[in-house]
Amino acid sequence: MTLLQHELTDFTVQSYQNNEFHEVTKEDVLGHWSVFFFYPADFTFVCPTELEDLAEKYADFQKAGCEVYSVSCDTHFVHKAWHDANEKIAKITYPMLADPTATLAKDLDTYNEADGTAERGDFIISPEGKVVAYEVISSNVGRNAEEILRRVQASQFVYAHGDQVCPAKWEPGDETIAPSLDLVGQL
């Protein structure tokens, strides 16, 4: 089963951001691009390197009109404690979503019931709240924020230009492809 075009179900979760707790709902996600960045747990090993990488690219995501939401099955209190205790996590200004009941993790099929944690998955969500791209990888392999940003930008391009597709390694400003019968077997 694929999650492509899966629409997020209604949700309300607590968030930690900029020394404040606040709720985030499905309504907050609609109307703009989003990345839901699931990771197994706070106070772990690979996760802080990934979240720091996202923090360092956060302005680029915002410039692209995309909000980043990191998500784990920890509580918002644990997110705050980790933010206060770790210099890598202290750099984060994007919302850190708390999913202790695994509502989001189950909806996006990243919940590992045996461990009670989310798998390492990232989901690009359209302004309508639908999954347009995702990857789920082994919990011992970190991801690259720059590549996720590139996939966001490519997804935004094809969303706006339905008659074009983006080839491998496409970056904004690069040539795209207009699929046609004439190109079959020519690329």
Identify the active-site residue in 47, 66, 73, 166: 47
Dig out the tokens for 184 from the structure: 């079959």
Angle at 21 between CA 71 and CA 15, to 5 degrees: 15
* Torsion sign across C-alpha atoms 182, 156, 173, 2: negative
Reference 19, options 72, 89, 103, 73; nearest CA is 89
Is 66 in the active site?
no
Give the number of other CB atoms < 10 A from CB of residue 105. Answer: 24
Give the residue numbers annotated as catalytic, written as ranges: 47
